[in-house]
């Protein structure tokens, strides 16, 4: 007899319908129908409840105890002796051993079936939360990462352009260096020097002494200097020196003051063969303007305190307050006298002869200073300081220079290093 047939037989013996048995066990009628047709098996706890409902042991319900069951009076089964497992707790008297085993089995099954799932479910939920947080962070960082990539791409393009420009610049520098080296190797001279030995201001001419040595000198060679010049009025001309004997060649040339002078050398060997070469650097210092003196920093000897706008400012003082007078040809032209006159808002406040000395630091610079070093002035907004300097050189020529400073926005605006205007020259 199957389990389903026994359930059906016991149900009918107790006068229960499928629906009544289902209600007693807390299941549906369809479940009872499946059991009785052997299409389903009750759960263990349901089997235990069913055995108690029918008043029989679980073993009898399952068909493992072949004992006749009286339809009216349930017979108390003998309790077989069961050797207790050392890990199994002792069972109280009067409990069906099989039922106890099934209870134990159901509990262990529940632990195996439910606890892992709950534990796994907890881990799954935690992992899901963690992944969600990671996704949120990654999504938040994605925009920033995208912007960073754009910036890096722009930096890469900029770096590429810089590298390209540097390559072009480096290529140009290398090319120029190569040209310079080749040009230097092609130069026939190892040294070249020039100096002014005479200056005629009235005739506006200069006499130069030129000297040179050759890289490869052969006995009997001689050299000639030729100067091609262009004057300020754009007229052109040439001056040619005499042939000079080596190995140290020296010659003199007299030529007019000009805007630019190019020097060419002609070398003749013992056999009469002549080679010519243009020197790479032209002479620019022979400009006619260079025969005149220049003066700078005319307002420097004045220590000015400016008042206004609720503040007071004072120009800085140095150890000395000197006006610079420059000469392009200090060996031929020097300042001999300097007279300074100053006006504050058109009213004369100073007229004094300055002392002159040669600068120890710069060639061609002379320093003119006042006896008291500084002149202290107090000025306010809109006040103007005008300074004039009358300079006479060793050739008897006089030049007058002028400078202007005004207080604007609470500050004395003055061109500290700009060349002042030349008012007149004699």
Q: What percent of the chain has pLDDT over 90?
A: 46
Residues 6+ apart with CB under 8 A from 275: 188, 266, 267
Torsion 313-318-323-326 (CA) sign: negative
Q: Is the pLDDT of residue 278 over 50?
A: yes
346-361 CB burial, b ≥16 within 10 A, e <16: eeeeeeeebebeeeee
pLDDT value of position 261 = 96
Distance CA 367, CA 326 (A): 9
pLDDT in tens, 18-54: 888 999 999 998 999 988 998 888 888 888 888 889 8
Torsion 133-135-137-139 (CA) sign: negative
pLDDT value of position 73 = 41
pLDDT in tens, 215-235: 989 999 999 999 999 999 999
Least-confidence region, from 212-226, 313-327, 406-420: 406-420
Q: Is the pLDDT of residue 361 over 70?
A: yes
Q: Is the pLDDT of residue 80 over 50?
A: no
pLDDT value of position 413 = 80
Q: Binning pLDDT at 50, 70 and 90, where does residue 350 land?
A: very high
pLDDT in tens, 109-157: 555 444 444 445 555 665 565 566 556 555 666 667 677 777 777 777 7
Determine contact, residues 60/67, Cβ cutoff 8 Å: yes
pLDDT value of position 67 = 45
Q: Is the pLDDT of residue 340 over 80?
A: yes
Least-confidence region, from 41-45, 103-107, 298-302: 103-107
Q: Is the pLDDT of residue 78 over 50?
A: no
Q: Is the pLDDT of residue 13 over 80?
A: yes
Cis link prior to 247 (omega < 30° from 0)?
yes
User: What is the pLDDT averaged over residues 300-311?
Assistant: 83
pLDDT in tens, 241-251: 999 998 999 99
pLDDT in tens, 396-414: 999 999 999 999 888 888 7
pLDDT value of position 172 = 61
pLDDT value of position 87 = 44
- Distance (Å) of CA 57 to CA 39, 75, 170: 23, 10, 104
Average pLDDT over the chain, rounded to an integer:
81
pLDDT value of position 395 = 93
Task: Look up tokens 């700078």; give the residue.
Answer: 296
pLDDT value of position 96 = 58
pLDDT value of position 91 = 44
pLDDT value of position 164 = 67
| 3-class state of residue 421 by DSSP | strand
Strand order in the sheet with 205-214: 189-200, 205-214, 248-256
Distance CA 335, CA 24 (A): 135
| 3-class state of residue 82 by DSSP | coil
């Amino acid at each position: 007899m199957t389990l389903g047939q026994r359930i059906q037989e016991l149900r009918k013996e107790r006068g229960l319908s499928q629906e009544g048995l289902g209600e007693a066990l807390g299941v549906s009628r369809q479940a009872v129908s499946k059991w009785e047709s052997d299409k389903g098996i009750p759960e263990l706890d349901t089997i235990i409840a069913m055995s108690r409902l029918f008043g029989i042991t679980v073993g009898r319900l399952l068909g493992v105890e072949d004992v006749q069951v009286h339809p009216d009076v349930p017979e108390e089964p003998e309790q077989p002796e069961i050797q207790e497992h050392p890990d199994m707790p002792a069972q109280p008297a009067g409990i069906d051993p099989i039922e106890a085993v099934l209870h134990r089995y159901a509990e262990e099954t529940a632990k195996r079936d439910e606890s892992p799932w709950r534990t796994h479910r907890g881990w799954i939920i935690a992992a899901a939360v963690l992944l969600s947080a990671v996704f949120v962070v990654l999504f938040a960082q994605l925009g920033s990462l995208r912007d960073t990539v754009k910036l890096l791409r722009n930096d890469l393009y900029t770096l590429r352009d810089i590298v390209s420009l540097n390559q072009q610049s480096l290529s140009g520098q290398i090319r120029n260096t190569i040209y310079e080296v080749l040009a230097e190797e092609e130069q026939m001279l190892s040294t070249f020097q020039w100096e002014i030995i005479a200056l005629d201001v009235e005739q506006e001419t200069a006499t130069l002494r030129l000297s040179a040595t050759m890289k490869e000198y052969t006995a009997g060679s001689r050299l000639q200097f030729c100067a091609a010049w262009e004057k300020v009025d754009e007229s052109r001309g040439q001056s040619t020196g005499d042939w000079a004997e080596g190995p140290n060649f020296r010659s003199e040339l007299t030529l007019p003051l000009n805007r630019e002078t190019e020097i060419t050398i002609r070398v003749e060997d013992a056999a009469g063969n002549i080679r010519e070469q243009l020197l790479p650097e032209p002479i620019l210092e022979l400009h006619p303007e260079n025969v005149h003196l220049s003066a700078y920093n005319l307002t420097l000897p004045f220590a000015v305190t400016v008042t206004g706008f609720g503040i007071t400012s004072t120009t800085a003082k140095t150890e000395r307050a000197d006006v610079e007078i420059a000469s392009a040809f200090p060996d031929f032209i020097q300042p001999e006298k300097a007279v300074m006159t100053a006006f504050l808002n058109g009213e004369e406040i100073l007229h004094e002869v300055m002392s002159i000395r040669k600068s120890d630091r710069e060639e061609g610079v002379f320093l003119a200073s006042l006896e008291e070093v500084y002149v202290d002035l107090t000025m306010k907004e809109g006040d103007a300081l005008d300074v004039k300097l009358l300079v006479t050189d060793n050739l008897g020529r006089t030049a007058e220079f002028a400078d202007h400073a005004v207080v604007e926005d609470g500050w004395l605006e003055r061109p500290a290093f700009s060349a002042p205007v030349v008012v007149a020259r004699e």
